[in-house]
Structure formats: C-alpha cells, structure tokens
C-alpha cells in the first residue's frame, strides 16, 4: 500500500456530492427498514459522542447503517478552541470509533465548551485574534496527528461580536487551513444566523470565504427569539425546516464552488422521517443544478500520518 494511503482518510470512501441526513434515534429503525417513501439519503452523519460505548444496541445499529451508506462522523466534544488541549481519553475513544467505522469524513466545531475540568454542554464562540488562532492550530495539529486524518472544521453560530477580534471569520478560517492543512465544513445556517445577529451580509462574507477548502455543507433551521428588543435574534436550534434564505445561500455556494456533500440537520422537534428526507431531496435538486464542475478539493500538502494505536 502506498504511504499516502496508510492514513484512515485514504481507506474510507469519499462522500458523494449529494444530500445526506443527520441520523437521530427516532428515525433509525425506519431508515434501516426502508419504511419511507421519499428518496433515500446519499449518506448518513452521526454524532461521534453518541457511539462512544463498548457494547449494546447502538454500535450494532451503526454497523448496519455503515454497511448501507457512506458515513460522516461529527464531533461535538473536543472543545478545539478551549484553553486546554483536547482530552487524551476523548481522543482515544474517537480514534477507536474511526478505526471501527471508517467514516468518510470527521468534522468538529470551531468552539469551546468547557474550562478547568467543567463541561458546559454548549458550543461557544471565540474572538478571532492571534492567541486563539495559535491555540486552535496547536489543538487541530494534535487531533490530526492522533487520528491520522484531516479534520473538517465547522464555522460557529454567533450572537455577539468580540472587540478583541483581529480577523474576519473568513480570514481566520483561511489562516487555519493554511497552517494546519485542515478542511472546512461550511454550516450555512450558522452563517445566516450570525449575519442577522451581527448585522453583516452573508453573501458578502462568501466573497471572502475559502470555498476551495469546503468539503461538506450543513443546512438546518433556526428559531427567532421572541423576547429580544430591539431587533431580531436568531437561535441555531435545528428545530425547523431549512429557511428560504439558507436555501438561497446553498444555491450561491453551488454556483461558486460546485456541488459539495450537503447534510440536513434536524435535532429538536423531530419531523417524520419522510419530511426530513424531503429536505434532503430539495438539497439534491439544488446540488444537481450546479452550473459548473466542482472545484478540486484542497488536500493536505503534508505527508499522510498513520493513526496512532489506541492504548
């Protein structure tokens, strides 16, 4: 086997440039039994932390999913932007999960969620300044070295701006990609939520986004906060259909970037499985309307590194 194929990312199939769904427990049985009338998803994504168990029904269920669909693994617990490095034990569990299921991609958030050994249970944004950039680069390098594969980093939803920020979000992400070789997961709902909350144009932001590094897209719904005066506050709740504004952003990205694997997330107030799959079918129609071939993906120029063994 060539040295470049010793990394886990080379052994796993790539995601199709079509639409998939985030798998939630109430939908699992129906998906596996074929109890739906809408077109099936092109791939399935799961949250890594839900499957970090030694036995029981969840791993067996994911084995069945993995046998039928390409798999994307999405993490919510590394806290890459936190003051402390990712926990070694968490990385060990993640490496074991990746070794077993061979997902096509692994993604995580540009966020922090704990401090001093206390986990806050949320994905919190950070200032886009030089110390945060350096810290994130160290943590991303640690994760990519441990897992032996590239990480896709997801842009956050934000509700306030930091005076300490020295970069725009696109410039910050571009520098992260340059320094670490990571890829990007462009969450278009997060971009829309942030643009409304902070008062900038999402379309103008796309002009500066490093779209050539985007290897996956997330779509979801938001909720309008009813008790904010003055103005409007959008909350990234994943509790509703994809908004027309977010569909418009997808069409714009497809026109600029070409078709990219795109996921429908729906985490609260879950709809019937067919309703979720209908959202994926709508995304597929937009992806199929790409007026030009997809840009080539930006691959890590550094030599591939094999995954370290789990102790």
Tokens of 246: 């977010």
Phi, psi (degrees; rounded to nearest 5) at 20: -125, 180
Domains of the chain: 3-288 (3.20.20.150)
CB 208 within 8 A of CB 171: yes
Closest CA to 80 of 140, 169, 133, 155: 140
Across the chain, mean pLDDT equals 86
Question: How much of the chain is in helix, strand and coil states, percent to nearest 5?
Answer: 40, 15, 45
Question: Does the pLDDT at position 301 exceed 60?
Answer: no
Whether the per-residue pLDDT at 51 is higher than 80: the answer is yes
Structure tokens at 193: 């939520």
* pLDDT band at residue 278 using 50, 70 and 90 as cut-offs: very high
Which residues are 187's β-sheet partners?
Answer: 218
List, as own/partner pairs, every contact residues 292-301 make where C-beta atoms lie below 8 angstroms and the sequence separation is at least 24, other chains included: 292/255, 292/258, 293/258, 294/17, 294/257, 294/258, 294/259, 294/260, 295/211, 295/212, 295/257, 295/258, 296/212, 297/183, 297/212, 297/215, 298/177, 298/183, 298/212, 298/213, 300/150, 300/181, 300/182, 301/181
- Please determine, for residue 287, whether its predicted confidence score (pLDDT) is greater than 70: yes
User: Tens of pLDDT along 189-200?
Assistant: 999 999 999 999
**Continuous segment of H or E residues that includes residue 189:** helix 188-198
Enter the tokens of residue 167: 């970069």
Tell whether the torsion through CA atoms of 39, 188, 75 and 176 is positive or negative.
positive
Least confident of 27-31, 127-131, 149-153: 127-131
Does position 292 have pLDDT exceeding 70, yes or no?
no
Question: Which stretches of 148-222 are DSSP H helices?
Answer: 169-180, 188-198, 202-208
**Would you place residue 53 in the very low, low, confident or very high pLDDT band (cuts 50, 70, 90)?**
confident
Q: Are 53 and 79 in contact (CB under 8 A)?
A: no
Whether the CB-CB separation of 116 and 51 falls below 8 Å is answered with no
Query: In angstroms, what CA-CA distances link 217 with 160, 236, 260?
Result: 23, 15, 7
Give the span between the Cα atoms of 20 and 263, in whole angstroms: 5
**pLDDT value for 79:** 85
Q: How far apart are the first and last CA of the chain?
A: 25
100: nearest Cα among 12, 41, 32 = 12
68-72, 102-106, 127-131, 307-311: the lowest-pLDDT one = 307-311
| Residue 206: pLDDT over 80 | yes
| H, E, C per residue of 100-112 | HHCCCEEEEECCE
């Amino acid at each position: 086997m060539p040295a470049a194929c010793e990394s886990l990312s080379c052994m796993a199939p790539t995601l199709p440039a079509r639409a998939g769904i985030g798998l939630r427990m109430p939908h699992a049985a129906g998906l596996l039994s074929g109890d739906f009338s809408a077109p099936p998803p092109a791939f399935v994504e799961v949250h890594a932390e839900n499957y970090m168990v030694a036995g029981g029904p969840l791993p067996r269920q994911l084995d069945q999913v993995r046998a039928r669909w390409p798999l994307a693994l999405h993490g919510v617990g590394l806290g890459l932007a936190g003051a402390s490095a990712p926990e070694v034990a968490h990385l060990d569990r993640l490496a074991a999960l990746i070794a077993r299921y061979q997902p096509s991609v692994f993604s995580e958030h540009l966020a922090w969620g704990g401090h001093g050994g206390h986990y806050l249970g949320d994905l919190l944004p950070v200032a886009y300044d030089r110390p945060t950039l350096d810290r994130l680069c160290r943590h991303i390098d640690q994760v990519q070295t441990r897992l032996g594969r590239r990480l896709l980093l997801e842009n956050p939803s934000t509700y306030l701006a930091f005076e300490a920020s020295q970069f725009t979000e696109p410039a910050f992400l571009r520098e992260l990609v340059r320094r670490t070789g990571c890829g990007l997961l462009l969450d278009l709902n997060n971009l829309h939520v942030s643009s409304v909350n902070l008062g900038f144009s999402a379309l103008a932001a796309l002009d500066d986004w490093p779209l050539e590094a985007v290897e996956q897209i997330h779509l979801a719904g938001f909720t309008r906060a009813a008790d904010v005066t003055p103005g409007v506050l959008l909350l990234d709740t994943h509790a509703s259909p994809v908004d027309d504004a977010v569909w418009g952003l997808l069409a714009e990205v497809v026109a600029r970037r070409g078709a990219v694997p795109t996921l429908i997330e729906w985490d609260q107030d879950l709809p019937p499985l067919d309703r979720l799959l209908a959202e994926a079918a709508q995304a597929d129609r937009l992806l199929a309307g790409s007026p030009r071939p997809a840009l080539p993906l930006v691959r890590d120029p550094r030599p591939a590194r094999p995954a370290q063994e789990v102790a």
